[in-house]
Chains A and B, each alone.
Chain A
């Protein structure tokens, strides 16, 4: 069950190879983080799940069924999609943005709006913001709306395309916390695309680090990857040698204080 990429590849008509021979399984209720630089094929892979991109080789399966055998529009409506910044419908009020998919699938508008207002609260927004247009919200608020919108039809799967990439670090942290809390309650199957390794480690149960051309540099849990980077590429990508990852302890007044590579204290070892 869950999502399975079975030896998928994507070569565009102009000859660009985005992905080659990628295989990976995302068990239900787990989060897969696809991380890599631009050109690593991470977004292409995510888009294969809802057929925004179709693989040229191999198959993508959801609960054992080939997505190519499913109706494109129905499939997309059954999957929550959180776009990058700027993906809200600018001409629809926030509440109507959130209610988009339920309305598309035939829920009466009034009922869909009521549910949308409740969802806004769930993602930490004042329901009064529902009357506004997206441009009247801050970037962080807009992405909360995007998350609420993706959840509106109560999908089993969420696809997230660099959802928090364009907000400042403090707001990003808040959004990540919110998502972790929601995920603990809802248990969706999530495919998250990010170029931020820290985000991948925070949100992903499983992390796949991709290099150019969609080749897997390393796949595993965050712990496995940090503990044993497969090669120099991964080591460099996760910043294993970075000052804030190379922690050690020093003894101060009988207590073990953890310091980073520059000797700055980051905490106390209990």
Chain B
């Protein structure tokens, strides 16, 4: 514990950096994945190509991706933006399929009745499809949140600071407390964000709280 006490400010600084890298990446992933998932749901043939490409992107190794992104976008290698883009690519790749599933999970009878009542195309998306897709979508968002928080640490290898620095630094200087702090800190952050998502999910789906079956009949 003495190492942690002596380096509290440094650890907190790295934690803040970690949040600032992971949260934007998660938000971008969610937005892009919803768009791709919607496209895949609406036009299944296009969807097969889109979702196939997405899973292919997920197989690109992280380090080369961190080198390629700055070249493609013309941004510095050590910029946090590089890492955010890379993580958003992985997050989107992982979430797009779930987003398509989420739209498919909406009861056809419900959306058809809504359409027949006179919801416009946009109204149908925002007021019917999206809220009803939340439960399945959320399960995917929880997965990419945890994976993104843990992936942020590799930024340390190319000099983008985060809790990952505690790992690289700890290994290099053989400070066990620092490594442990890095690992535990990353895991704690993931757990806190996950709990936050569960709470937000409950607030966004009050009908499921009221009816444990979720109205699935």
Contacts and interface: CB of A to CB of B under 8 A. Distances in A.
A and B from one complex = yes
Interface of A: 47, 50, 52, 73-78, 81, 83-92, 100-101, 104, 132-136, 149, 159
Contact of B205 (A47, A86, A91): A91
Interface core residue of B112, B114, B118, B213 (most chain A CB under 10 Å): B118
A101 B109 contact: no
A135 B215 contact: yes
Given A76-B117, A83-B116, A100-B117, A135 B123 contact: no
Contacts of A52: 112, 115-116
A90 B215 contact: yes
Interface of B: 107, 109-110, 112-120, 123, 128, 131-132, 205, 207, 210-211, 213-215, 217
Contacts of A135: 207, 211, 213-215, 217
Given A52-B112, A135-B214, 17 more contacts: A74-B118, A75-B118, A76-B115, A76-B116, A76-B118, A78-B118, A83-B113, A87-B109, A87-B110, A90-B107, A90-B207, A90-B214, A90-B215, A104-B118, A136-B210, A136-B211, A159-B116
A167 B211 CA distance: 21
A92 B211 CA distance: 12
Contacts of B207: 90-92, 133, 135
Given A91-B131, A104-B123, A135-B211, A86 B110 contact: yes
B208 to A, nearest CB: 8
Nearest to B119: A104
Contacts of A159: 116
B214 to A, nearest CB: 8
A204 to B, nearest CB: 21
Given A86-B109, A91-B205, A77 B217 contact: no
Contacts of B131: 91
Contacts of B213: 135
Top 7 closest pairs, chain A to chain B, by CB:
A87-B113, A77-B118, A90-B215, A76-B118, A135-B215, A83-B113, A135-B211
28 contacts: A50-B116, A52-B116, A73-B119, A73-B120, A74-B118, A76-B116, A76-B117, A78-B118, A81-B113, A81-B117, A83-B112, A83-B113, A83-B116, A85-B109, A87-B109, A89-B128, A90-B107, A90-B132, A90-B215, A91-B131, A91-B132, A91-B215, A92-B207, A132-B210, A133-B207, A135-B214, A135-B217, A149-B117
Nearest to B209: A133
A101 B109 CA distance: 17
Contact of B109 (A50, A83, A92, A100): A83
B215 A84 contact: no
Given A86-B217, A87-B109, A133-B210, A77 B117 contact: yes
Given A104-B123, A135-B207, A88 B113 contact: yes
A87 B118 contact: no
